[in-house]
Amino acid sequence: MKRNKKKLKQSIKLRERVENFLQKNPTAIKKIPPTDIRNLFEELQIYQVELENRNDELLKAQEQLQESEEKYRQLFATVSDAIMVFDAETREFVDANDAVSALYNYSREEFLELKHNDITAEQKKSDESINQTISGKISGIPLRYHKRRDGTTFPVEISSGAFKLGNRQMVYGVVRDITERKEMERSLIENMDKYRNLVDYSIDGIAVVQGQDIKFVNSALIKIFGYQDKLEMVGHKFTEFIAPEYKDLMVQMGRNREKGKQALRRYKFKALRNDGKKFDAEISVSRIYYQGKVARQGVIRDITKEKVAEDALRESEEKYRGIFDESIAAV
């Protein structure tokens, strides 16, 4: 290719030299040496071949471009998210896919008559985001509110970018309606509030643990363990509040439960109060999801009084059994 380019330059120079010569001496063609005429002819043939090769390359590049445009157009049309392109300076839309029509309730032709200002419900924030997108500072907007044709607003998530089209700065956005997601989040928050209110008024202590970390405790639990504030327990390892002889057992039980393996649902253990004293407790454990991750919920009761009563009853039974046995022996 480099050799052909070199020969092409040489042929052009030779042709220019001959043209200049003929312009100055129209009748002098007869004086041109046959060797120069033959060289000129050969160089012109090379020039012609080079032009044909270039033409083939251009045709091939044009075909590849058309194929790429067809693939782009197919992808552009079939993506379920709304895709739009607008001029950064005028904010006028220059292209949009069919999903845009479904999302904003405009026909494609109507939408292309609009400007970006017509669909955003947060003009100032949108302008800031557009400038940040052009400068490359951001490539996505997690939450923005847009407007439909009837004026109703709805939350969207946007993936954005910028590119040049000739001398024009263009911005594109891939827009997804996240109304359902936001409603689910709102519902989840409401349910969490209800859950917190329910467990906070429970007379039993309740804790949520992930791995070994305490994520949540209710008021009853901190009272049982002798603390004043929930933060004295939340964020700590649950093993800090377990008697040493029970730590390994409860850690293993917790691992098994989070992995879905078999584990006791209810059992007794010795816990540690704030003052370091041990006390008898009973726990009922269930596997739950907390903030999107597997966790364990434990309902804990202080059974110290029950344990004392059981021990007293057992001692009484043993005492009276001994008296009864002695009486039988005497008889």
Domain ranges (residues) in the chain: 2-75, 79-177, 184-309
* Burial (CB count within 10 angstroms: exposed 0-12, middle 13-18, buried 19+), residue 311: exposed
Q: 79-177 and 184-309: same fold?
A: yes
Strand order in the sheet with 82-87: 93-96, 82-87, 168-177, 153-165, 140-147
Task: List the one residue out of 52, 45, 60 whose CA is nearest residue 11.
Answer: 45
Residue 307 β-bridge partners:
none
Task: List the one residue out of 302, 295, 281, 300 whose CA is nearest residue 215.
Answer: 295
Torsion angle, alpha carbons of 126, 131, 133, 138, to 10: -80
Distance CA 75, CA 260 (A): 42
End-to-end distance of the chain based on CA atoms, in angstroms?
127
Residue 115 β-bridge partners:
92
Give the pLDDT confidence score for residue 289 in this predicted structure.
86
Task: Split the chain (331 residues) into runs of 10 and give each run's mean pLDDT.
Answer: 56 63 60 64 66 72 66 67 93 93 94 96 95 94 96 95 92 94 87 77 90 93 94 95 93 86 88 94 90 89 85 67 56 52
Q: For residues 318 and 301, is the Cβ–Cβ distance under 8 A?
A: no
Q: Which residue has the tokens 């001496």?
A: 25
Task: List the one residue out of 297, 283, 269 whose CA is nearest residue 210.
Answer: 297
Amino acid making up residue 176: R
- Looking at residue 114, the DSSP 8-state letter turns out to be S
Give the pLDDT confidence score for residue 309 in this predicted structure.
77
Distances in Å between the Cα of 123 and the Cα atoms of 6, 118, 182, 183 are: 58, 9, 21, 24
Q: For residues 81 and 98, is the Cβ–Cβ distance under 8 A?
A: no
CATH architecture of 79-177: 2-Layer Sandwich (3.30)
Q: DSSP states of 116-135 as a string?
A: GGGTBS-HHHHHHHHHHHHT
Tell me which CATH code domain 184-309 carries.
3.30.450.20
Distance CA 261, CA 284 (A): 16
pTM above 0.85, yes or no: no
Q: Which helix (H) or strand (E) holds 166?
A: none
Distance CA 237, CA 300 (A): 16
Residue 282 β-bridge partners:
268, 301
Give the pLDDT confidence score for residue 71 in this predicted structure.
63
